[in-house]
Amino acid sequence: MIADNIKNVTQRIARCCEKSGRLVDDVQLVCVTKEASVEEIDQAIEAGIRIVGESRIQDAMAKHRIIGDRVTWHLIGHLQTNKVKDAVKMFSLIHSLDSLRLAKEINKEAEKLGKVQDVLVQVNISGEETKFGIAPGGIVEFLKQLSSYRNINIKGLMTIAPEVDDAEKVRPYFRALRQLRDKINAMHLASCELSILSMGMTNDFEVAIEEGANMVRIGRAIFR
Ligand SMILES: *Cc1c(COP(=O)(O)O)cnc(C)c1O
């Protein structure tokens, strides 16, 4: 049952926060619905879910037309520049800003809508060739280049850890992302205060929370 799964995940998050001396309210749960039907999403909302994460624009729009803004919509998947217009219309937070070209497009479309689009910069913290994201060493420069974009608000960083059999193996990546966030904040770059750390999925969210995640993206533990 979806409601039971959500209760279970919520309890695990709470226990983990307690264990690491964090406040439960400090960690936001993004319920990843990319493989869920509208009916299943409805059940999740009934069970208390307030944020849903989708990875493909087309699917997200179809679901959004039915479900509407009873929940907050986050984009967690890679965004192509030709889909930006639709993305800016429906998503409160885009987790996957990974290029200057994309930033330029988001800024342009947000400006047209009179919106300031909240975004996270996706970081390829593990350096895997198959992963999207800015390399850790290029983040500061990237953020500086974004500083002139008035219709983008950079709220934090996001990463996807490598798939491993034991979540302990990805702890160093989560730690590295938190340290990167702290380092950037200590630099006091213009209009750039990074508060959100979006990291941790079904297989590794507890380790991510222990390392400072305040937004976890969970799909399979809820819907499978
Ligand atoms: C699918 C997906 C998730 C959720 O993964 P689960 O293993 O189902 O919890 C989180 N983040 C991103 C970017 C995803 O694509």
Q: Report the candidate in 55, 40, 52, 57 with the shortest Cα–Cα distance to residue 2.
A: 40
Q: Is 34 in the pocket of ligand 1 (CB under 6 A)?
A: yes
The CATH number, out of the four listed (2.40.50.100, 3.20.20.10, 3.50.50.60, 3.30.70.330), of the domain defined by the range 2-223: 3.20.20.10
What are the pLDDT digits (tens) for 165-187?
999 999 999 999 999 999 999 99
Burial class (CB in 10 A: 0-12, 13-18, 19+), 224: exposed
pLDDT confidence of residue 197: 98
What is residue 162's predicted lDDT score, i.e. its pLDDT?
A: 95
Using the CB atoms, write b or e for 47-76: b if 16+ within 10 Å. bebebbbbbebeebbebbeebeeebebbbb
- Tens digit of pLDDT for each residue in 59-110? 999 999 999 999 999 999 999 999 999 999 999 999 999 999 999 999 999 9
**Mean pLDDT (whole number) for 147-164:** 96
Task: Give the containing element (helix H, strand E) for 223.
Answer: helix 220-223
Give φ, ψ of 193 to 5 degrees. -115, 110
CB of 217 sitting under 6 A from ligand 1: yes
Q: Whose CA is nearest to atom 10 of ligand 1?
A: 217
More confident of the two residues 114 and 192: 114
Q: What local confidence, expressed as pLDDT, does residue 126 receive?
A: 95
Type of residue numbered 43: Q
Angstrom CA distances, 214 to 13, 183, 205, stand at: 10, 17, 10
Condensed to tens digits (0 to 9), the pLDDT of residues 195-215 reads 999 999 999 999 999 999 999
Residue 190's pLDDT is 80
For ligand 1, say whether the CB of 56 is within 6 Å of any of its atoms: no
Checking if the pLDDT of 191 tops 90, the result is no
Surface-to-core class of residue 4, CB atoms within 10 Å of its CB (0-12 exposed, 13-18 middle, 19+ buried): exposed
pLDDT at 18: 96
Summary mean pLDDT of the chain? 97
Report the atom number in ligand 1 closest to the C-alpha of 32: 4
- Regarding pTM above 0.75, the answer is yes
Q: Read off the pLDDT band of 192 (50, 70, 90).
A: confident
pLDDT of residue 9 exceeding 90 = yes
Q: Ligand 1, closest atom to CA 30?
A: 10
Region 14-37 average pLDDT: 96
